[in-house]
Amino acid sequence: MRRGSSRPSRPINRKSRTFYPVNLDLEGRAVLVIGGGKVAERKIESLIACGANVRLVSPESTARIRAWAAKGTIRWAPRSYKPGHDERGAFLVIAATDDARVNRAASRAAKAARTFINVVDVPELCTCTIPAVVRRGDLQIAVSTGGASPAFSRRVREELEKTFGQGYERHLDLLGRLRAPLREMVKDPASRQDLMTRLASLPIPRLVSRGENSKAVEKVLGTLAYSLSPADTENLAARVVRPVLHPSD
């Protein structure tokens, strides 16, 4: 037996943190991104889609990032990060660098400024983490492991992408468009809630994925007909149901 091998092995533990899930409205808000590589590029792309006012600090950047900067989509300061200066006025800071010193400095400075900080793949330096997301129109399914394994988050996201196809986007779009007119047509809140629940329970995603759009339309109209007059049902069929589920009609 080798020296020291008699000591029993100890399990490897980790401190688990519970994050509060929340969606942030970044429209028009200042977001600082530190780092100009491929990871930063992916973060910036998502921020642009959210309408954020993106400012990048990095000596170098990818061709795509440079194109965004040239168009004025983002602002790029081609220099090194200045802790205690660059995060001023930022609502959120994302550090996407492979420099541990820069990441730690960004975390300290953002926390001192009471600004949300996400350091990619270093959860212990974060005050917020960014989940893997499945997007189907207005439907967003966020997957988070609390920083334990981003790779596992990606795996779960990929599995969810196979389950939640484009039919879910159509179904949610339909429900969203029906809400306002149904508030006018069905005055009783309990009856309206019951109708919306029945509409949400229809197998629209499956029918759309099979190309059975006409059957999907029939299902919706049949459900509406139980609660609405024939005139109101046909009104919604022409204005909402067919345009969303069977636009070729």
| Domain ranges (residues) in the chain | 30-130, 131-164, 166-245
Q: What is the pLDDT of residues 77-86, one digit of tens each?
A: 999 999 999 9
Q: What is the share, in percent, of the chain residues with pLDDT greater than 90?
A: 84
pLDDT at 87 over 90: yes
Encode pLDDT of 15-59 as tens digits. Answer: 777 888 899 999 999 999 999 999 999 999 999 999 999 999 999
Tokens 């960004």 identify what position? 106
Tokens of 27: 């429209």
Residue 228 to residue 235: CA distance in whole angstroms:
10
Q: Is the pLDDT of residue 91 over 60?
A: yes
- Looking only at the bridges linking them, the beta strands covering 75-77 and 53-57 are parallel
Query: For residue 236, is pLDDT > 90?
Result: yes
Q: What is the pLDDT of residue 1?
A: 47
Pairing of strands 30-34, 92-95: parallel
Q: What is the pLDDT of residue 8?
A: 62
Between 113 and 1, residue with greater pLDDT: 113
Q: What is the pLDDT of residue 181?
A: 98
d(CA 103, CA 136): 33
Cβ pair 203, 219 in contact under 8 A:
yes
Q: Which fold has domain 30-130?
A: Rossmann fold (3.40.50)
| CA–CA gap between residue 127 and residue 116 (Å, rounded) | 6
Q: Closest Cα to residue 60, out of 82, 81, 78?
A: 78
Predicted structure pTM score: 0.80
What is the DSSP annotation of 182-208? HHHH---HHHHHHHHHHHHTS-HHHHH
Residue 116 pairs in a beta bridge with: 92
Looking at 3.30.310, 3.30.160, 3.40.50, 1.20.120, the CATH number of the domain 131-164 comes to: 3.30.160
pLDDT at 183: 96
In this prediction, residues 227-235 reach a mean pLDDT of 97
Per-residue pLDDT at 116 exceeds 80: yes
* Secondary structure E strands in the chain: 30-34, 53-57, 75-77, 92-95, 116-119, 132-136, 139-143
User: Phi and psi of 76, rounded to 5°?
Assistant: -125, 125
Q: What is the DSSP letter of 51?
A: T
The whole-chain average pLDDT of the chain stands at: 93
- In the chain, % of residues over pLDDT 70: 95
